[in-house]
Amino acid sequence: MDIGAFLAALALAALASPAGATVLYKSVDANGVVQFSDLPPERGVEAKKIVVPESTSAVPGAIRSAEGVATAPPRVEQNYLGDEAVQRASLLVDMAERALAVARRPIWEVADPMKLEGPKMTGADRERVEYYRKNLKVAQQKLADLLRGKLLAEAQIMTAAAGAPVYGPTGSPIYRR
């Protein structure tokens, strides 16, 4: 087979492949049931054509445009990005997660398809994994407590800056007799 014929066949195969979108047809049958199909409906049936872009995410159709994706973290996260205590606590959580993964690594083995049970954990394996799991929970709790305290302090500052609360209309009471 010569290279020219091969390239022509390759070009035809590329043109015959899907164009990066799926077409669905939405129609309502005689009983009032909404139906979706990838095949065009019969003649005379009114159907709405829906073009669904292909997505690489796990959720079909969950493709986002560039302007739909947030470019900067929300204001609350932005306040804590430069905070050294939050960074330190977050780093401790990351290290605890990695330590737990390393502790679980010796237990990982390829399962034998001829056996119904998976790899067995010894008592020492269970103790080691539980120790690192507790360390991870402690690190996560410390980070949560730190963030909760910062949010509470921020809320108290905002409440104090807002002044005294107003419970109803100000001015002369119009409902008194």
CA nearest neighbour of 86 among 127, 144, 136, 46: 144
Cα gap 150→138, rounded to integer Å: 18
pLDDT of residue 161: 75
Q: What is the DSSP string of 116-177?
A: SS-PPPPHHHHHHHHHHHHHHHHHHHHHHHHHHHHHHHHHHHHHHHH-S---S--SS-SS--
Strand partners, 25: 37, 49
What pLDDT is recorded for position 20? 53
pLDDT of residue 165: 66
Q: 23 has which bridge partners?
A: 51
CA distances from 135 to 85, 106, 140 (A): 18, 19, 9
Q: Under DSSP, is residue 62 helix (H, G, I), strand (E, B) or coil?
A: coil
Question: What pLDDT does 174 receive?
Answer: 60
Q: How far apart are CA 11 and CA 71, in angstroms?
A: 38
Residue 105 pLDDT: 81
Please list the pLDDT of the chain residue by residue as tens digits (177 residues). Answer: 567 666 666 555 555 545 555 777 888 888 888 887 777 777 777 888 887 766 555 555 455 555 555 555 566 666 777 789 999 999 999 999 999 998 888 777 676 778 777 667 788 888 999 999 999 999 999 999 998 998 888 888 877 777 776 666 666 656 555
User: What is the model's pLDDT at position 25?
Assistant: 80
d(CA 52, CA 63): 10
The dihedral through the CA atoms of 136, 137, 138, 143 has a sign that is: positive
